[in-house]
Amino acid sequence: MFKGSNVALITPFKNDKFDDEAYIKLIHFHIKNGTNGLVPAGTTGESPTLNHHEHEKVIELCVKESNGKIPVIAGTGSNSTKEAISLTKHAEKIGADAALVVTPYYNKPTQEGLYQHYRSINDNSGLPIIIYNIPSRSVIDMSVDTMARLFELKNIIGVKDATGQLDRVDKTKEKLGNEFIQLTGNDDNALEFNIRGGVGAISVTANIAPKLCSEFQKFSVLNDKTSQTKAIELDKILQPVHHSMFVESNPSPVKYAAKLLNLCEDQVRLPLVNITEPNKKIVEDALKLANLI
């Protein structure tokens, strides 16, 4: 159920307010273009600057508009365990299919602290939980051993791995087996990630190239020569786009790309700002190379 191209949905703003009309348009754009799953209220969705009402509304609207057509993996993480529990319980109540829970940022918990954090969320909800391991943002790195302990709990089903360390895929597969879902959080390593045992991505690029990302994911997990050749071809097309999405802090570049595609405005909330003119050129050139504009 949780595999392939899952989009880390941007949250569109207009006059610094949540633009629900553009958001609904985005959701149906993804359903139409083959995206395999929707991930609202994550990092790319600017969750740190959403207030509680907005956070809950973003998830509710995503669940309502997708209407069971594709899974919704709700971003419900926090560096406060109580807040993460509250957000996860809300996501469960309104019908999300799973929760994406980031490792607690700023607090710098130990591995035991990480275990107890996720265990508490697990014990207070019935939603499947995907661990979001992103040391570049949260400072701490969850070990494979800690993940193995968590996988023994009823709701922990997988990881969004944004470490960028491809050998982690092998170690995780060896220790936790094939049933533990591994999704990459790094678009640029998705090909090798899947070759090593991953089953998909939670993608930034999918916001503006859903069909390409979905097709790439479909072929990259198949073992026949024709499929692998096709996956490599698509990866070459996508690599410049992946790179352009991170010329400045995410999601500023992808929101600019979305504006070029007439999907929404490129507004971001402080402390993020719009990308510079030279970097706009990089984004535009990448989209042209991929025939997206």
Catalytic residue at 132?
A: yes
Is 288 inside a domain boundary?
no
**Can you tell me whether residue 21 is helix, strand or coil?**
helix
Place of tokens 């390409």: 212
Residue among 118, 132, 218, 259 flagged as catalytic: 132
Residue 234 counted as domain residue: no
Give me the pLDDT at residue 1, please: 85
**Structure token digits, residue 252:** 């500023």
Query: Is residue 259 included in any domain, yes or no?
Result: no
- The answer as to whether 197 is a domain residue is yes
Tokens of 26: 């985005």
Residues of the chain under the 70 pLDDT cut: none
Q: Which of 125, 4, 22, 109 is nearest to 74 (CA)?
A: 125
Cα 105 versus chain centre, distance: 17
Specify the pTM: 0.97
Domain count, the chain: 1
Token pair, residue 83, equals 């807040």
275 is written with which tokens?
A: 């990308």
The CATH number for 157's domain is 3.20.20.70
Which two tokens mark 184? 């990459």
Residue 266 token pair:
């490129």
256 is catalytic: no
Number of Cβ atoms within 10 Å of the Cβ of 68: 9
Per the structure, the complete domain to which residue 66 belongs is given by: 4-221
Q: Is residue 279 part of a domain?
A: no
* Tokens at 182, concatenated: 């591994």
Q: Which of 3, 23, 115, 160 is catalytic?
A: 160
- Locate 203 and state its tokens: 């993608």
- Residue 163: count other Cβ atoms within 10 Å of its Cβ: 19
Burial 123-139 (b: 16+ CB within 10 A, else e): ebbebbbbbbbbeeebe
In a domain, 271, yes or no: no
Decide if 240 is inside a domain.
no
Task: Please check whether residue 215 is in contact with residue 191, taking contact to mean a CB–CB distance below 8 angstroms.
Answer: no
Is residue 101 assigned to a domain? yes
* Distances from the Cα of 164 to the Cα of 136, 151, 218, 279, angstroms: 10, 21, 21, 23
| Phi, psi angle pair for 234, to nearest 5° | -65, -35
Mark out the alpha helices in 33-157 (DSSP H runs). 52-66, 81-93, 111-123, 135-138, 144-151
